[in-house]
C-alpha cells in the first residue's frame, strides 16, 4: 500500500498548546503516513521530534506581534514571504507531498498558495482567535480557494470568525492522552515544596505568562478571596513567553502593590503539571481562549475549573457541574466564584466527581479518529 507524505506546518518551536496538538496530529497519522514537519527554528518542539525520529525542515518565517498587526509585522512578512514560499515549494515538490497540514494561522497563506501551485490539498487547523480584522478578512477569502479542502476549528467560538468557510468547516476538540497524562508522582509533597501548609487550599491559573492571558485578573481577585478565606494560596503556573518579560515584571509589581506577596507563588515553567494538579483545589482560566487544554487536564484529577463567560471555555465547562462561569474581565466576580467553591465543600465534592467523569469526553482516541478520518477523506 502506498504511504503518502504529509507536511505538518508549525510556526512555533516552543511547546505551547498548539504544538502539543501538532504532536497529537503526528501520533494520529504517523502509522499510515510519512510525516515531515516545517518548524521556524530549533527548540523544545524539534527536541520532541528528534526523540520520536521524525524528519523536520527548519523554515524561518520571521517574528510577529501577538494580536493586531502593525507596520513592523507587514515589513517582516514582506521580507520573509518570497524566501519562505520558494523554500517550502521546493521541499514540498522534492518530497512528493500529498497533503499540507497547516497547524498555525501564520502558515495559512503560504500553505494555501503552495497547494494551489502544486495542486496539493491543504488542511487548516485553527487554534486561535484572529484579533486583526485585516488578517481575518484575508483568511476568510483565501480559505475559499480550491486547495484549502478542510478547515478544522478547535471550538464553535473560533469557527464563528470564519463565516465564509462554513462549507469546509469541522469542529474537532483537542484530545488528551489521559492515561499518559495521569502518570507521575503522587503529588503528596507538592505543598511542602511550595511552603504551603497542608490545610491551605491551592487555587491556580496555568498558562504562558503573556499579556493576552490576562493574569492580572487572577491576581486582582486574590485580596477579595483572602478577606473571606485566609487559608488559601494562589499559584501562577507557567513560563514567561518570549517578548513578554515586561508584562511579567508588571505582574510582580502588582503582587507587591496588592500586598499579597506571601499568598502568591510564581512557579515558572513546569513539566509536571499532572503532578501539580493533584494538590490543586480550583483552577482558573482568565483569558479569552478558543480552547484551554488545562480544563480537561484539570478534570482528570477532579479539579473544578472557573472560566470566563466567552470563548471556548463556555463549551468545555458545564456551569455548576464541572466548574463555574464568571463575567470575563471581572475580578470581583471571579473572586465570588472562588469563594463559593472554597465555602461549599459539598458542591466542590460533587463537581470533583463530575470532572473525573467529564474527562473521558476529551480522550485523545476520539481526536485521533476524527483527524484520521479528515485526512483519509481528502487524500485516500
Q: Measured between alpha carbons, how far is 296 from 17 in angstroms, rounded to an integer?
A: 13
Compute CA distances 337 → 197, 277, 293, whole Å.
23, 19, 21
Q: Measured between alpha carbons, how far is 362 from 296 in angstroms, rounded to an integer?
A: 7
Pick the more confident residue, 6 or 106. 6
pLDDT value of position 193: 86
Q: Measured between alpha carbons, how far is 174 from 218 in angstroms, rounded to an integer?
A: 25
pLDDT value of position 195: 87
pLDDT at 201 over 70: yes
pLDDT value of position 183: 84
DSSP character for 281? S
Domain 179-361 in this protein, CATH class? alpha beta
Q: Measured between alpha carbons, how far is 236 from 267 in angstroms, rounded to an integer?
A: 6
Q: Please, what is the end-to-end C-alpha distance for the chain in angstroms? A: 11
CB count within 10 Å of CB 297 equals 22
Question: How long is the chain?
Answer: 380
Q: Model confidence at 3, in pLDDT bands (50, 70, 90)?
A: confident
pLDDT at 260 over 80: yes
Compute CA distances 57 → 8, 10, 93, 96, 98, whole Å.
10, 10, 14, 15, 17
Pick the more confident residue, 65 or 345. 345
Grid cell at residue 286? 482568565
pLDDT value of position 110: 94
Are 124 and 96 in contact, with CB atoms under 8 Å apart? no
Task: State pLDDT tens for residues 339-365.
Answer: 999 999 999 999 999 999 999 999 999
Q: Please list, residue by residue across 251-288, b when 16 or more beta carbons sit within 10 angstroms of its beta carbon and e when fewer do.
A: beebbeeeebeebbbbbeeeeebbbbbbbbbbbbbbbb
pLDDT at 240 over 60: yes
pLDDT value of position 133: 87
Compute CA distances 373 → 150, 170, 172, 358, 369, whole Å.
12, 11, 11, 24, 6
Compute CA distances 275 → 38, 139, 309, 345, whole Å.
32, 40, 28, 23
Q: Model confidence at 36, in pLDDT bands (50, 70, 90)?
A: very high
pLDDT value of position 271: 86
**Average pLDDT taken over every residue of the chain:** 93
Where exactly does CATH 3.40.50.2000 map onto the chain?
Answer: 5-175+363-379, 179-361
Pick the more confident residue, 15 or 145. 145
Task: State pLDDT tens for residues 300-322.
Answer: 999 999 999 999 999 999 999 99
Q: Model confidence at 263, in pLDDT bands (50, 70, 90)?
A: very high
Are 49 and 20 in contact, with CB atoms under 8 Å apart? no
CB count within 10 Å of CB 205 equals 26
Percent of the chain scoring above 70 in pLDDT: 96
pTM of the predicted protein model? 0.89
**Residue 380, helix vs strand vs coil:** coil
Q: Once rounded to an integer, what is the mean pLDDT over residues 235-244? A: 93
Task: State pLDDT tens for residues 77-103.
Answer: 788 889 999 999 999 999 999 999 999
Q: Model confidence at 2, in pLDDT bands (50, 70, 90)?
A: low
Q: Which residues pair with 283 in a beta bridge?
A: 204, 305
Q: Measured between alpha carbons, how far is 225 from 66 in angstroms, rounded to an integer?
A: 32
Q: Model confidence at 72, in pLDDT bands (50, 70, 90)?
A: confident
pLDDT value of position 74: 73
Q: Once rounded to an integer, what is the mean pLDDT over residues 60-78? A: 75
Residue with cell 485516500: 380
Domain 5-175+363-379 in this protein, CATH class? alpha beta
pLDDT value of position 188: 66
Q: Measured between alpha carbons, how far is 303 from 250 in angstroms, rounded to an integer?
A: 29
Name the phi and psi angles at 12, rounded to 5.
-130, 145
pLDDT value of position 215: 98
Element (H, E) at 99: strand 97-102
Mean pLDDT lowest among 3-12, 52-61, 126-135: 126-135
Amino acid at each position: 500500500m502506498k504511504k503518502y507524505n504529509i507536511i505538518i506546518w508549525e510556526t512555533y518551536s516552543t511547546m505551547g498548546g498548539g504544538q502539543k496538538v501538532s504532536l497529537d496530529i503526528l501520533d494520529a497519522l504517523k502509522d499510515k503516513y510519512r510525516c515531515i514537519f516545517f518548524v521556524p527554528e530549533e527548540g523544545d518542539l524539534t527536541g520532541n521530534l528528534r526523540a520520536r525520529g521524525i524528519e523536520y525542515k527548519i523554515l524561518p518565517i520571521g517574528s510577529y506581534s501577538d494580536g493586531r498587526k502593525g507596520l513592523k509585522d507587514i515589513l517582516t512578512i514582506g521580507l520573509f514571504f518570497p524566501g519562505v514560499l520558494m523554500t517550502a515549494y521546493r521541499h514540498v515538490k522534492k518530497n512528493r507531498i500529498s497533503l499540507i497540514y497547516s497547524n498555525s494561522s501564520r502558515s495559512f497563506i503560504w500553505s494555501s498558495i503552495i497547494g494551489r501551485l502544486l495542486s496539493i490539498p491543504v488542511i487548516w487547523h485553527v487554534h486561535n482567535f484572529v484579533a486583526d480584522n485585516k488578517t481575518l478578512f484575508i483568511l476568510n477569502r483565501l480559505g475559499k480557494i480550491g486547495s484549502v479542502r478542510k478547515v478544522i476549528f478547535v471550538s464553535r467560538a473560533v469557527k464563528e470568525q470564519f463565516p465564509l468557510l462554513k462549507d469546509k468547516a469541522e469542529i474537532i476538540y483537542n484530545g488528551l492522552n489521559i492515561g499518559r497524562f495521569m502518570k507521575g508522582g503522587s503529588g503528596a509533597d507538592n505543598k511542602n515544596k511550595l511552603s504551603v501548609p497542608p490545610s491551605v487550599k491551592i487555587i491556580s491559573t496555568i498558562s504562558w505568562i503573556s499579556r493576552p492571558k490576562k493574569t492580572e485578573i487572577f491576581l486582582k481577585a486574590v485580596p477579595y478571596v483572602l478577606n473571606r478565606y485566609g487559608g488559601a494560596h494562589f499559584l501562577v503556573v507557567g513560563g514567561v513567553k518570549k517578548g513578554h518579560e515586561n508584562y511579567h515584571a508588571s505582574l510582580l509589581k502588582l503582587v507587591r502593590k496588592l500586598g499579597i506577596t506571601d499568598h502568591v507563588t510564581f512557579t515558572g515553567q513546569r513539566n509536571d503539571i499532572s503532578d501539580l494538579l493533584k494538590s490543586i483545589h480550583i483552577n482558573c482560566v482568565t483569558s479569552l481562549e478558543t480552547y484551554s487544554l488545562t480544563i480537561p487536564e484539570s478534570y482528570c484529577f477532579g479539579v473544578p475549573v472557573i472560566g470566563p463567560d466567552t470563548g471556548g471555555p463556555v463549551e468545555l465547562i458545564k456551569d455548576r457541574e464541572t466548574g463555574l462561569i464568571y463575567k470575563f474581565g471581572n475580578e470581583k466576580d471571579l473572586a465570588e466564584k472562588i469563594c463559593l467553591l472554597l465555602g461549599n465543600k459539598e458542591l466542590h465534592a460533587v463537581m470533583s466527581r463530575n470532572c473525573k467523569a467529564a474527562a473521558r469526553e476529551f480522550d485523545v482516541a476520539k481526536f485521533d479518529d476524527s483527524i484520521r478520518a479528515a485526512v483519509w477523506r481528502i487524500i485516500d
